[in-house]
Amino acid sequence: MTSDDQLSLFNDSTVEQAAPSAVSQPELIPTDGKIPIPPGTYSNMVELAQHCNQCHRCGLADSATHAVVGRGNLEAPIVIVGEAPGQNEDETGLPFVGKAGQLLEKILASVKLDSERDVYICNIVKHRPPANRVPTAEEMAACIPYLLEQIRLVDPKIILLTGATAVKGLTGDKRGITKIRGTWIEWEGRLCMPILHPAYLLRNPSREQGSPKWLMWQDIQAVRAKLDEIRNQS
């Protein structure tokens, strides 16, 4: 008997093999968007991104170039949630890098928030809808488990929801954005603020009192003050 044969006598066929994980076997991602991805599925953002890159839980990936998962600090105190990638984001695989994203950077910088240090930026859906249409309720429902996992992993102090689709997609709140922007709302025990979408500000350049830009300036100052307050408490 060779030593290999001897060693094989120690094999115990009753010992359970570790179940292949969905991450090591992407074919185990539920392709039906109605089947949930349970909380706790991903232990880090790399695993989550691997799934997003191969995801077909809805039809959006069919017409997209790249999945757009997120960018910024994975331990940021603020998570910013947008609606969906646009053309620039689809091309680069990074959220908010087009005109709206450049304006978002300026808004953050105006209160000394750094997009690489203080925020993690992502979207309700991870693939660009054709012609930048609003994602459907089914597409948002199929994609939401990824966002919930992103929020769990980053564990931010504050979540900013840019525009009505982000608010509805995450919290289900269907109120108009102009009604609820600038107010603090609680979702799943987390502090959230709906804000206007930067693309809306691009279409409304006025800085007059009461204009979208002016309102954004009020809101981002309130966000900065709240972050300082939370930091001073801990």
Using CB under 6 A, list all residues that contact ligand URA.
82-86, 89, 95-96, 98, 100-101, 123, 199
23 vs 202 by CB, closer to ligand URA? 202
- 192: Cα separation from own chain's centroid: 14
Please spell the DSSP secondary structure of 143-167, one letter per residue: HHHHHHHHHHHH--SEEEEESHHHH
Q: How far is the CB of 123 from ligand URA (least distance, A)?
A: 5
- Contacts with 112 (C-beta within 8 Å, 6 or more apart), sequence order: 224
Q: How far is the CB of 199 from ligand URA (least distance, A)?
A: 6
First to last CA, the chain: 66
86 vs 212 by CB, closer to ligand URA? 86
101 vs 182 by CB, closer to ligand URA? 101
57 vs 197 by CB, closer to ligand URA? 197
The Cα–Cα gap between 195 and 80 comes to 10
Q: How far is the CB of 70 from ligand URA (least distance, A)?
A: 10
Q: How far is the CB of 181 from ligand URA (least distance, A)?
A: 15
Q: Which residue type is seen at 65?
A: T
